[in-house]
């Protein structure tokens, strides 16, 4: 039986989450900003219509915002994660085979269901009724076609939020795909679409009927899979189980530039703590640590310095204290006082499950105290992140990111929600 996938994608997700708790914003242009209040990463339809681009630096929009009363909010990831869980939990009832693809998207396997359109409208209705989040549904025999169908559902009001690619005849498919820019295809980004244009491939239909061997030779396997998926052949499977992370990064741009090592080390110990929490949460340990610093790459007038040191850890670990000692040492090694730092971070790599580690024959593994970290995680989970910290964390202020317009955590922290 031919596979049928629905891609359910939330509309303007972060903005929609904010609007659930701020009905007064429903008719106002709204944007949600990235960390550090840097760029617009979610825009209401009104904000899009006014010309705010995805990822646009917010300072570039200030005049426009002033003129049209655009409301800008700092991102509130605790809120979005919780709203996402609610949406995903509803969608999971529609099929045991589903893949949470991102914070606002889910593939749902509807293979064998007769009334695809009805079921899709039902999903839409239920999600908006139970969570307040509007979604669009695209249906197709492959992930790539379901994605494309979703794009059409979003673009054409006539579809009323649901588009089933299977409902088209071959002729209709050809006509529709000839009208869509190839850059809309999942997996075709900026660079690739520019190079494809040089080869005369401008529309989705151009890509679908392109000479496969040439495509493969010029652009690689990835795009060949994409082409086959556009033709209806499944090349990208549904990933039901969430795989363990292969690398874990924790990094931030600073609210202001930092010139003091002590402040850098303070920030770094927070990054280490966050990365190790994630590592322990998936029951892994890491054998590789990378630590990096960045100056402000947008300041062409200032000297640039982007040091990065990678060290193999002598023994895989997920102990924040152990990793912190390394990170602290490495920051000291890299630091040069003549630069102004704007960003820093850590990366944990060479990750494997705890307990599947082949102990060194020559150097017997030293027992690390897993109880300490376990207790620390439990306390921080129960009483909030940062309740128990490494001593260097928080000793220095001055690196924290700007977040001037953050909404309350409506769904997870009632204590801070103002009562109407």
In the shown chain, the binding pattern of residues 201 to 230 toward DNA, with x for contact by CB under 7 A and - for none, equals -------------------xxx--------
Site for DNA in 332-361 (CB under 7 A): 343, 345
As beta bridge partners, residue 347 has 249, 290
Contact stretch for DNA (CB under 7 A) within 29-37, 81-89, 90-98, 372-380: 29-37
| 298 contacts DNA (rule: CB under 7 A) | yes
Which residues, 6 or more positions from 142, have their beta carbon under 8 angstroms from its beta carbon? 3, 5, 229, 230, 232, 233, 234, 235, 236
Per CB under 7 A, 101 contacts DNA: yes
Binding mask 170-189 for DNA (x = CB under 7 A): ---------------xxxxx
Q: Does 97 bind DNA (CB under 7 A)?
A: no
Chain residues 225-254 in contact with DNA, contact rule CB under 7 A? 243, 245-253
* Cβ proximity of 15 and 70 under 8 Å: no
Helix (H, G, I), strand (E, B) or coil at 144: helix
For DNA, give the closer residue by CB, 309 or 417. Answer: 309
- Candidates 158, 191, 356, 382; binder of DNA (CB under 7 A) is 191
Helix/strand/coil (H/E/C) assignment for every residue in 364-381: CCCCCCHHHHHHHHHHHH
Distance of closest approach, residue 157 Cβ to DNA, in angstroms: 21
Round to whole Å and give the CA distance between 7 and 147. Answer: 6
Q: Closest approach of Cβ 108 to DNA, in Å?
A: 15
Query: Is 43 near DNA (CB under 7 A)?
Result: no
Cα three-residue angle 150-154-160, rounded to 5 degrees: 100
Out of 25, 64, 78, 103, name the contact with DNA by CB under 7 A. 103
Interaction residues for DNA, span 268-287 (CB under 7 A): 274, 278
Residue whose CB is less far from DNA, 38 or 232: 38
| Shortest distance in whole angstroms from residue 281 CB to DNA | 10
Nearer to DNA, 243 or 337 (CB): 243
Q: Which of residues 119-158 bind DNA (CB under 7 A)?
A: 147
Q: Among 26, 53, 59, 304, which residue interacts with DNA (rule: CB under 7 A)?
A: 59
- Give the closest residue to 161 by CA, choosing from 25, 8, 19: 8
Q: How far is CA 271 from CA 4, 37, 309, 348, in A?
A: 42, 19, 15, 11
Nearest CB to DNA, comparing residues 172 and 310: 310
Residues 6+ apart with CB under 8 A from 353: 244, 283, 284
Could you count the other beta carbons within 10 Å of the beta carbon of residue 301? Answer: 6
**What pairing do the DSSP bridges indicate for beta strands 30-33 and 40-43?**
antiparallel
Residue 102 touches DNA, criterion: CB under 7 A:
yes
Where in 374-413 is the site for DNA (CB under 7 A)? 401
What HEC string does 161-190 produce? CEEEHHHCCHHHHHHHHHCCEHHHCCCCCH
Binding site for DNA (CB under 7 A): 34-36, 38-39, 41, 55, 57-59, 62, 101-105, 147, 185-193, 220-222, 243, 245-253, 257, 274, 278, 296, 298-299, 310, 343, 345, 401
């Amino acid at each position: 039986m031919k596979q049928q996938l629905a891609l359910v994608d939330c509309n303007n997700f972060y903005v929609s989450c904010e609007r659930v708790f701020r009905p007064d914003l429903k008719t106002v242009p709204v944007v949600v900003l990235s960390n550090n209040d840097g760029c617009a990463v979610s825009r209401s339809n009104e904000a899009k219509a006014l010309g705010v681009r995805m990822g646009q630096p917010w300072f570039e929009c200030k005049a426009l915002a002033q003129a049209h009363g655009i409301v800008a909010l700092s991102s509130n990831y605790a809120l979005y994660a919780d709203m996402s869980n609610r949406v995903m939990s509803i969608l999971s009832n529609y099929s045991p085979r589903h893949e949470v693809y991102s914070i606002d998207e889910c593939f749902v396997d509807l293979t064998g269901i007769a009334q695809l359109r009805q079921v899709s409208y039902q999903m839409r209705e239920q999600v908006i009724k139970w969570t307040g989040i509007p979604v669009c549904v695209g249906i197709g025999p492959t992930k790539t076609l379901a994605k494309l169908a979703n794009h059409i559902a979003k673009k054409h009001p006539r579809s009323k939020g649901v588009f089933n690619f299977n409902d088209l005849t071959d002729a209709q498919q050809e006509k529709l795909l000839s009208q869509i820019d190839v850059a809309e295809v999942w997996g075709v980004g900026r660079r690739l679409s520019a190079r494809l244009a040089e080869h005369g491939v401008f529309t989705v239909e151009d890509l679908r009927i392109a000479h496969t061997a040439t495509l493969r030779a010029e652009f690689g396997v990835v795009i060949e899979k994409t082409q086959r998926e556009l033709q209806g052949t499944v090349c990208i499977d549904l990933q039901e189980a969430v795989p363990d992370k292969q690398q874990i990064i924790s990094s931030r741009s600073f609210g202001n530039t930092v010139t003091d090592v002590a402040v850098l080390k303070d920030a770094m110990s927070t990054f280490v703590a966050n990365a190790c929490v994630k590592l322990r949460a998936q029951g892994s340990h890491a054998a590789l640590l990378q630590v990096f610093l960045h100056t402000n790459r947008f300041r062409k007038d200032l000297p640039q310095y982007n040091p990065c040191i990678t060290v193999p850890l002598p023994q895989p670990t997920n102990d924040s204290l152990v990793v912190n000692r390394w990170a602290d040492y490495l920051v000291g090694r890299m630091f040069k006082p003549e630069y102004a730092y704007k960003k820093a971070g850590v990366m944990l790599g060479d990750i494997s499950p705890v307990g599947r580690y082949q102990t060194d024959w020559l150097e017997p593994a030293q027992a690390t105290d897993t109880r300490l970290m376990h207790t620390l995680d439990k306390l921080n989970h129960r009483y909030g992140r940062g309740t128990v910290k490494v001593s260097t964390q928080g000793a220095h202020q001055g690196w924290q990111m700007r977040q001037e317009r953050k909404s309350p955590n409506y769904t997870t922290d009632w204590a801070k929600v103002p009562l109407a």
